[in-house]
Amino acid sequence: MSSLADRVRRALGNDDRVNVEQLTERLSALERFLRVTDPYLPDSNLVAAHTLVERAGGRLALSQDHTVVALAGSTGSGKSSLFNALARLKLSPVGVRRPTTGVAHACVWGPLEPANRLLDWVGVLPRQRFIRESALDGDDEAALRGLVLLDLPDFDSIEQSHRLEVDRLLGLVDQVVWVVDPQKYGDRILHNAYLKQFRSLTDVTVVVLNQADRLNPSDTEIVLTDLKRLLEEDGLTGVPALATSAKQPGMLTELRASLEKTVAERQAALRRLAGDLDAVSDQLAATIGPPAAEDEVDRATVRQLTDALAASAGVPAVVEATSGAYRHRAIANTGWPLIRGVRKLRPDPLKRLHIDTEGVAPFFEDEDQGAPVPRTSVPDADAAQKSAVGLSVRAVAARAAAPLPEVWAPALNNAARSKLHDLPDALDRAIAKTDLGMSRKPFWWTAVGILQWLLTIAAIAGLGWLLTGYAMRALGLPKLDYPEVGVVPLPTLLLLGGLVLGLLLAMLLRPIVNAGARRAQRRAEHRLRQSVTEVGREHVVAPVREVLHAYAQARESLTVVRSE
């Protein structure tokens, strides 16, 4: 299926009266605009653009040798009489009963068959289609070959179906000839509901003052002058305003000449398309404002989001557990060997939260390949923490929406909240996957542990030596002679020295262990906040940036659509 741009190129050919490339680019840009904004903007803002794209594609796919011109007017304006006079046949019913015309009638100058598909698309019933082929031998009629003239129902008909049909057809035809009469040419409905809406279609709009035969020439000029003034107030400056009469063929000369010129140029459909593009782009301008960077969400807003997510994910509890785990493990490795077993019977604070710190890298490499990640036992967020997360998420959306038109605010808010239900699991996985730096045992723990064992062995050896001496004396065996260091027996020195030095070493290490726990706490908090920030960026900020990216693309596309 050919694209809309290809249809425009084929329709325009090499006619230099229309900027082919510019019109093609504008249509393509409008299609791009709709593609990127459809998921985010309300349908009410885009319905006119969608209608235009569909109408442009349908019209350009049909006959380019025909020009569809509609006669539109109010009840009693005489447009059906004018239709018959232009066709020089009695085709559309004329009478005093209102409304007379209930459905559109069509007259085709030339063979009917080539225009049938076009009339099917416009929606004119087959029984309401007529031809002027038999009269084409005359030069005056040959100039209109390719004209498809429509007589529309009255736009102010008491029948609502008639008014709806008029509105539908006015959106499809290539050119509109508005038929007014000397009595109702200033009708408010005509000007406010219709003519003002055609301000972007001045190139395909003609206004005729019908029934001008009822006025003398001077009055006709006065009415035409006033009609032109009203048209200028409607924004239709430069639109032709002609005096016509269905009863006097000579008063149709200007209108027929205008129609002949339109048919000969074969530009009306394209000018209508360009005018509709102008109107639609003006409507869409309200949806696009100043440029907005895709990283519009600043660091302060992300930091606020991270704070809320960290509290919700239980980061403070994990940080505190990391500090406790460091002390627990340090004492278990550097304390007196005789009480290490007692220390190891106490639960590790991190393991109590089901946070594994041993072999973490291989485990999560497997997880990336599809292995499940075990849930932690970090306490669930309370109501206040959940509320803080909600407020922070809305703050992200509000910050991103600040420079944009208000119509984008709901899309940004929905994007920020689109993955909110996944946040708890994502945060829990992030906590479980974060390497807290606790998987490696410091070298000095091992060195101190060996020293503590040596001191303990010395104390045990001294105690055993002394007990052996006491046992020998109790059994009446010869007394053992203990070596002395100064005045202190060596066994006593070993026992007391091992115990005292072990205790002193443990006391001296306590500040070092506390300092290491604080470093582990800070390291864990930094890494956990990094993990939480990534979750926030992925689940909250990234969807918002997708909308901002779409906005940037839409803004660029609309700039092309509005270029002239």
Report how far residue 251's alpha carbon sits from residue 274's, in angstroms, rounded to the nearest whole number: 31
Distance CA 318, CA 59 (A): 66
116-140 pLDDT per residue, tens: 999 999 999 999 999 876 544 555 6
Dig out the tokens for 500 from the structure. Answer: 């005292």
Strand partners, 484: 489
On whether both 255 and 279 belong to a single domain, the answer is: no
Spatial separation of the C-alpha atoms in residues 508 and 515, rounded to whole Å? 12
Residues 367 and 330 in one domain: yes
Q: Please indicate, yes or no, if residue 461 is contained in any of the structural domains.
A: no
In a domain, residue 472? The reply is no
Neighbours of 535 (CB within 10 A): 25
79 and 51 co-located in one domain: no
Q: How confident is the model at residue 101 (pLDDT cuts 50, 70, 90)?
A: low
| Structure tokens that stand for 278 in this block | 């102008």
Structure tokens at 458: 């010395």
Whole-angstrom Cα distance, residue 432 to residue 388?
Answer: 22
Burial of 527 (0-12, 13-18, 19+ CB in 10 A): middle
- Rounded CA-CA distance 465/272 in Å is 114
Q: Exposed, middle or buried: residue 384 (CB in 10 Å: 0-12, 13-18, 19+)?
A: exposed
52 lies in the same domain as 83: no
Query: DSSP assignment of 236-263, as one string?
Result: -TT--EEE--SS-GGGGHHHHHHHHHHH
Q: What is the mean pLDDT of the chain?
A: 85
> Rounded mean pLDDT of 81-89?
88
- Which stretch of 20-29, 294-303, 498-507 has the lowest confidence by average pLDDT? 294-303
* Mean pLDDT computed over 182-211: 92
Based on the fold, state whether residues 280 and 172 are members of the same structural domain. no
- Which pLDDT belongs to residue 96? 40
36 and 178 in one domain?
A: no
User: In the prediction, which pLDDT does 82 show?
Assistant: 93
Mean pLDDT value of segment 304-316: 91
The conformation of residue 108, written as its DSSP 8-state character, comes to E
pLDDT at 549 (0 to 100)? 93
25 occurs within a structural domain: yes
End residue of a domain, out of 239, 257, 287: 287
Q: Contact 353/313 with Cβ under 8 angstroms?
A: no
Whether residues 433 and 313 share a domain: the answer is yes
Give me the mean pLDDT over the 102-122 stretch. 91
Q: Is the pLDDT reported for residue 168 higher than 90?
A: yes
385 contacts 311 by C-beta, under 8 angstroms:
yes
Q: What percent of the chain has pLDDT over 90?
A: 47
CA quadruple 252, 254, 259, 263: dihedral, nearest 10: 130
Confidence of residue 16 (pLDDT cuts 50, 70, 90): very low
CA distance 123 to 212: 32
| Three-state secondary structure call for residue 353 | coil
Q: What are phi and psi of 363, to 5 degrees?
A: -60, -45
Q: 468-527 pLDDT, tens per residue?
A: 888 887 877 777 777 877 777 887 888 888 888 888 888 888 888 889 889 999 998 999
Confidence of residue 293 (pLDDT cuts 50, 70, 90): low
Rounded CA separation 145/116 (Å): 15
Question: What does the pLDDT read at residue 209?
Answer: 95
Question: How high is the pLDDT of residue 366?
Answer: 42
Phi, psi torsion values for 358, nearest 5 degrees: -120, 125
Q: Which residue has the tokens 């006619």?
A: 15
**Amino acid (1-letter code) at residue 319:** V
Residues 120 and 188 in one domain: yes
The mean pLDDT of 259-280, rounded to a whole number, is 92
Give the DSSP H/E element, type plus range, for residue 46.
helix 43-60
Sign of the alpha-carbon torsion through 104, 109, 111, 113: negative
Do 13 and 160 reside in the same domain of the chain? no
CB 146 within 8 A of CB 175: no
Residue 125 gets which letter from DSSP? -
**pLDDT at residue 94 greater than cutoff 80:** no
Q: Is residue 454 part of a domain?
A: no
Q: Which has the closest alpha carbon to 324: 291, 276, 357? A: 357
Q: How confident is the model at residue 245 (pLDDT cuts 50, 70, 90)?
A: very high
Residue 500, in any domain of the structure: no
Within this chain, do residues 110 and 238 fall inside the same structural domain, yes or no? yes
Omega before 99 within 30 of 0, i.e. cis: yes
Q: Cβ of 298: how many Cβ atoms within 10 Å?
A: 12
CATH number for position 144? 3.40.50.300
Percent of the chain exceeding pLDDT 70 equals 88
Residues 226 and 374 in one domain: no
Q: What is the pLDDT of residues 39-69, one digit of tens each?
A: 999 999 999 999 999 999 898 888 888 999 9
Nearest to 495 by CA among 458, 468, 470: 458
Look at residue 102 and tell me whether its pLDDT is greater than 90.
no
Is it the case that residue 295 has pLDDT exceeding 80? Answer: no
Report if residue 349 sits inside a domain. yes
Backbone angles phi, psi at 296, to 5 degrees: -60, -25
The residue segments making up the domain with residue 172 are: 66-265
Q: In this structure, is residue 360 part of a structural domain?
A: yes
In this predicted structure, the answer to whether residue 2 has a pLDDT above a threshold of 70 is no
In degrees and rounded to multiples of 5, residue 59 shows phi and psi of -70, -40
Q: What is the pLDDT of residue 97?
A: 43
Length of the chain: 564
Q: Are residues 90 and 31 in the same domain?
A: no
The SS3 assignment for 426 reads helix
CA–CA distances in Å: residue 270 to residues 5, 97, 259, 274, 361: 13, 38, 16, 6, 65
Cβ-proximal residues to 46 (8 Å cutoff; 6+ apart), any chain: 34, 37, 38
What tens digit of pLDDT does each residue of 444-474 get? Answer: 888 888 888 888 888 888 888 888 888 887 8
pLDDT value at residue 473: 78
What pLDDT sits at residue 382? Answer: 87
Q: How many structural domains compose the chain?
A: 3
Establish if 479 belongs to a structural domain: no
Average pLDDT over residues 15-43: 85
Q: Is residue 14 very low, low, confident or very high in pLDDT (cuts 50, 70, 90)?
A: very low
Positive or negative torsion for Cα 554, 558, 560, 561: positive
* The token pair that represents 478 in the structure block: 């010869």
The string of DSSP codes covering 153-222 is: PPTT-SSHHHHHHHHHHHTT-SEEEEEE-TTTTT-HHIIIIIGGGGGGGGGGEEEEE--GGGS-HHHHHH
pLDDT digits (tens, 9 = 90+) for 346-366: 788 888 888 876 544 444 444
In this prediction the pTM is: 0.78
Q: What would the mean pLDDT of 169-185 be, rounded to a whole number?
A: 94
357 or 168, greater pLDDT: 168
Question: pLDDT category, 546, cuts 50, 70, 90?
Answer: very high
Which spans in 402-489 are helix H? 409-417, 423-433, 443-474
Cα–Cα dist 239/82, whole Å: 19
